[in-house]
Amino acid sequence: MQDDVVKEGSAVLRKLRDYYLLMKFTLSFTVVFSCVISYLLVPEVRFDLVSVLLLFVGGMLVTGSANAINQVVEKDTDALMRRTSLRPVAAGRMGADEAWTFAAVTGILGIFLLGWWFNTTTAVISMFSLFLYGFIYTPLKKVHSIAVLVGAIPGALPCLIGWVAGADALTPGGWILFSLQFVWQFPHFWAIAWVSYNDYSRAGFKLLPSSGGPTKHAAVQAILYSVILVPIGLLPFVTGMSGKMSLYVVLIANLFMVWQCIRLFREMDVKAARRVMFSSYIYLPVVLLALYADKM
Residue ending a domain, choose from 150, 168, 186: 168
How far apart, in Å, are the Cα atoms of 102 and each of 22, 79, 188? 9, 20, 29
Same domain, 139 and 203: no
Among 221, 94, 76, which Cα is nearest to 138's?
Answer: 76
1 within some domain? no
Among 67, 78, 204, which Cα is nearest to 141's?
Answer: 204
Has residue 58 got a pLDDT over 70? yes
Q: What is the pLDDT of residues 229-258, one digit of tens each?
A: 999 999 999 998 888 899 999 999 999 999
Same domain, 120 and 198: no
Between vectors from CA 65 to CA 62 and to CA 69, what angle results, nearest 5°?
A: 145
Rounded mean pLDDT of 30-39? 94
The per-residue pLDDT for 200 is: 82
10 within some domain? no
Residue ending a domain, choose from 168, 184, 217: 168
**Contact predicate 56/32, CB 8 Å:** yes
Mean pLDDT of the chain: 91
Same domain, 177 and 163: no
Number of independent structural domains in the chain: 2
Question: CATH code at 107?
Answer: 1.10.357.140
Query: Residue 86's pLDDT band (boundaries 50, 70, 90)?
Result: confident
Question: CATH code at 266?
Answer: 1.20.120
7 within some domain? no
Rounded mean pLDDT of 252-278? 94
DSSP per residue, 206-236: --SSSTTSS-HHHHHHHHHHHHHHHHHHHHH
Residues 6+ apart with CB under 8 A from 241: 41, 43, 173, 176, 235, 291, 295
Domain that residue 290 falls in: 171-296
Query: Residue 8's pLDDT band (boundaries 50, 70, 90)?
Result: low
Same domain, 147 and 179: no
In the chain, the percentage of residues whose pLDDT exceeds 70 is 97
Query: Residue 1's pLDDT band (boundaries 50, 70, 90)?
Result: low
Q: What is the pLDDT of residues 127-168, one digit of tens each?
A: 999 999 999 998 898 888 788 889 999 999 999 999 999 999
Same domain, 130 and 196: no
Sign, Cα dihedral of 164, 167, 171, 172: negative
Same domain, 28 and 147: yes
Residue ending a domain, choose from 148, 168, 188: 168
Whether the predicted model's global pTM rises above the 0.75 cut: yes
Has residue 42 got a pLDDT over 80? yes
